[in-house]
Amino acid sequence: MTVTLPERLKINDMIVVDADVHVNDTPGALAPYCDMPWRKSLEGLSHVPERYLDIPGFSPGMKLDPVIPGGHPARSVRTAAEMREELSALSIDIGILFPDNLLLFAPLPQVQYATAISHAYNRWLMEEWLTREPGLYGALLACPQNPEDSAREIERYAKEERIVAVYLPTAGVNPLWGHQKYDPIMAAAAAAKLPVMLHSVTLVSPAFPCQLDQFENTFARHVLAHSFAMMANLVSLIHTGVPARFPQLKIAFTEAGIAWVPYMMWRLDKGYAEFRRQVPFLEKRPSEYMKERMWFATQPVEEPDNPQHLVETIEHLGGAERILFASDWPHHDFDHPKTVLNLPMPPEMKRKIMGENALELFGIPVPAGKIT
């Protein structure tokens, strides 16, 4: 008897939505969109020699390491046309845009300045990126320094079809995102039906994940920073009852991989069984909230020796429905779509992860000429 195997699924056989793409948000680019007097601050910073994710007073990277020749080159995308061309070359139909420098936005201490920058970024994102090319959608920058203003900003942009999420800066945020001071942001996002998306970056700061200064190089700090920040903020959201208090709120975690998620599900459920009297507002086990209203982006996707182990990890955290493909383009450690597409999964799982889940989460229509 001859068995005919199904044709291998190719990248052009599906819709590819990239849930984590970065634009080059320099002080000079944002200055024309910034209100006075803070526009003058950005104009002054525009003359500072450009450093990758390390601009004093704008992107406080607090870099500790010496320059080592031959390291990874820094690369940014400066225009919507360039972004569209590069994503198309990667067979990516739709990209969700995040900032680059403002990944390090949360530690800025001056409230009025931070508020003005958030407004400038959102205006710039709309004008220079989202209205210029097809398939580019954006995450609105929330300002943790000023939650009430951020709620108004979410309401202001809620009906913009190219704004599909709210970006929550995670590196150096203090307090963590479960704190009730951020309730206005959560309430506004839920009302606007916009998912909130936590995104971290490696940062040495007194806020969680703290004590990264104890490690001697970027290798060690980077291994820990992203996943630890996501774990801490996840616990923060759960232990203050954010999913229970905002039942319509959808939450996504980006740039921390996915292998940490089952561990946290099991750990949180065990804690809930033992200490549930301390969290009476949780009507379900933490893992149930996570499997119903939380999503996890792949980048940097784990690469175990046996790829089947990663597929099993996906099943443990709730299945393919919980996963969003992300590349982190154009950063040096970006994941090509084929990295996920080549995993030993059935076609229906691949279609969900590579694009269908994101279309549903973000409310994005199917691109012209594509079928699901």
The whole-number average pLDDT for the span 50-62 is 87
Q: What is the DSSP string of 263-329?
A: HHHHHHHHHHHHHGGG-TT--S-HHHHHHHHEEEE-SS----SSHHHHHHHHHHTT-GGGEE----B
Cα distances (Å, whole numbers) of residue 313 to 73, 252, 338, 348: 32, 18, 19, 17
* φ, ψ (nearest 5 deg) of residue 165: -165, 170
pLDDT at 163 over 70: yes
Integer Cα distance of 96 and 107 in angstroms: 24
Sorting pLDDT into bands at 50, 70 and 90, what band is 332?
A: confident
pLDDT at 266 over 90: yes
pLDDT single digits (tens) 173-184: 999 999 999 999
Tokens found for residue 147 = 């939650």
Cis peptide before 147 (omega within 30 of 0): no
Sorting pLDDT into bands at 50, 70 and 90, what band is 1?
A: very low
Integer Cα distance of 328 and 335 in angstroms: 7
Cβ atoms within 10 Å of 307's Cβ, excluding its own: 14
Integer Cα distance of 188 and 194 in angstroms: 9
β-partners of residue 96 are 137
Integer Cα distance of 309 and 53 in angstroms: 34
pLDDT at 329 over 60: yes
Integer Cα distance of 156 and 178 in angstroms: 23
Tokens found for residue 310 = 């990663």
Element at 44 (helix H, strand E) = helix 38-45
pLDDT number for residue 267: 98
pLDDT single digits (tens) 62-120: 788 887 888 777 889 999 999 999 999 999 999 999 999 999 999 999 999 999 999 99
CB 262 within 8 A of CB 323: no
pLDDT at 161 over 90: yes
Q: By mean pLDDT, which of 75-79, 165-169, 253-257, 265-269 is the weakest?
A: 75-79
Residue-range domains of the chain with CATH: 11-65+80-362 (3.20.20.140)
